[in-house]
Structure 1
Amino acid sequence: MFERIKKAFHREVKERSDSTLAQAPGPVSEWAASRGMTFSGGTLGSSMTMQGKVGGRPWRMELGRPTRDYITGEELRARAELGVDDDVGAMVINRPLKEALERRAYSMITDTLQTTADPRLPEEMRWLAMYDEIGWEGPANDFWTRYAVLADARETALAWVDEHLVSQLMSWPDPSPTAQVPFMIVLLRGKCYLRMQYMPPEMHTLDHATDVFVSACESGLHAFRK
């Protein structure tokens, strides 16, 4: 299952000839400036980096080569130093990726020839084992079909994944990322993270992903500020 998803992602990206890293960084730089963010990088083959603040806290976003093997093409990742309660842990992940990672973990566990943990395993596979999936009434069924919410406690999930964040997660502009595109936002160790495959590689995807990330940060600050 995991390998089939990777191959499907690879075919989709190969069909696109307008890779962001093959373009001049001008549009991204201008977009960052319009949002009050600083911009650096963007030469052929290098990452583009944007930095800003949310609630007075610094955050950084990068667009470049993937750091996870389940992402093909370009990866969009962000991190904010929120300074919220370190004990809080929660995660929103698109369900196809969750299921693929779980199958991969199960395959490794049941492989009698594997006696040591693979150091290349992504940390999010451990998060899936650490946290329980949480569900509640409110979000529409379409939300639960597309995403899974995991957390250290039900109260954490309810406080962080508020109505506005749910709306943002379900309102990607067209042409929008499909439910198969790897995506996650994580609240852990006082920080907020975003990681996703940059697909479709369009400015509106970057813009909306930024809105989603900022909403997740603002919700975390509101609910768990020390």
Structure 2
Amino acid sequence: MFERLKKALTGAAPADTTHSRGDAVSEWAGMQGFAYTGSGDGKGFALQGQVSGRPWKLERGAASRQYIRGEEIRARAELKVNEDVSVLIMNRPMKDVLEKRAYAMYTDTLQTTADPNLPEEMRWLAMYAEVGWSSLPDPFWARYAVMADQREHALAWIDPNLASLMLAWPEPAPQAEVPFILMLMRGKLYLRMQYTPADMPTLEHAATVFTSACEAAIAGLSTDIPL
């Protein structure tokens, strides 16, 4: 009775959009055959699935990198492909920002020790050379940079289908400046991106990009020997 009186005096309570978003993600995950786990705060969640028998996990949560604002989508898959392969795909505006930051750090005569808060992505930029090839469209190279230990490894992984998906974000699409990383290293695949815009189309497409990247890596870099 007291709850009904409260509603009558104050008006209907606003819709719980956080809960409705969680329901939408859970329903979509079920349709895709993914396991869904919500977090206690009602905002974050985790999805789990398999691609070609290899397990993967995708999470939404608070950003764990300084260059990401708000929330991020991060994913990891145990692909068991060639562990010697190291390939990094990064959106080009983010690469430019990190390179400028690294340059400023190294030219600062007052800085005598390395900043422990520097993201490991800056070390990757120093370790791996940027590579490219003509079979992928110019818009891909305008938006993304590819760094690799060997150019052949990048060629074996990034096929035209994956490149096309990385350009086909649904509207309202993430802008080219939104931080995005796909990294293949030590037989594992990682995704990290700023969750902007934070909507279902962006989440669904991020999951499609990640699982397609898994499939492409397995197809091009698997060490399995057919029986």
Q: TM-score range by the shorter chain?
A: 0.7 to 0.9
Normalised to the residue count of structure 2, the TM-score between the two structures is 0.87
Note the C-alpha offset of 1:43. Answer: 3.5
Structure 1 residue runs of 4+, over 2 Å off? Answer: 20-24, 41-47
Q: Name the count of aligned residue pairs.
A: 207
1:224 aligned partner = 221
Alignment partners' CA distance in 1, 2:158 and 2:24: 31
Change (3 A) 1:36 1:45: closer
Are the equivalent residues in 2 in contact too, given 1:176–1:200 (CA < 8 A)? yes
Note the C-alpha offset of 1:54. Answer: 1.0
Establish whether residue 39 from structure 1 lines up as the match of residue 30 from structure 2: no
Are the equivalent residues in 2 in contact too, given 1:92–1:184 (CA < 8 A)? yes
Alignment partners' CA distance in 2, 1:24 and 1:135: 39
In the TM superposition, 1:43-192 aligns within 5 A as 43-44=40-41, 47-192=44-189
Are the equivalent residues in 1 in contact too, given 2:22–2:43 (CA < 8 A)? no
1:194 aligned partner = 191
Alignment partners' CA distance in 2, 1:46 and 1:168: 27
> Which digits, 9 at most, give the CA deviation of each residue in 1:114-165, with x for residues without a partner?
2222222211111111111111112221111111111111111111111111
Sequence identity, in percent?
55
One-letter amino acid matched to 1:185: L
Note the C-alpha offset of 1:21. Answer: 5.8
Note the C-alpha offset of 1:205. Answer: 0.4
Alignment partners' CA distance in 1, 2:46 and 2:18: 12
Structure 2 segments unaligned to the other structure (5+ residues): 1-16
3-state SS of paired residue (1:25): helix
2:22 aligned partner = 25
Change (3 A) 1:149 1:135: same
Structure whose alpha-carbon radius of gyration is higher: 2
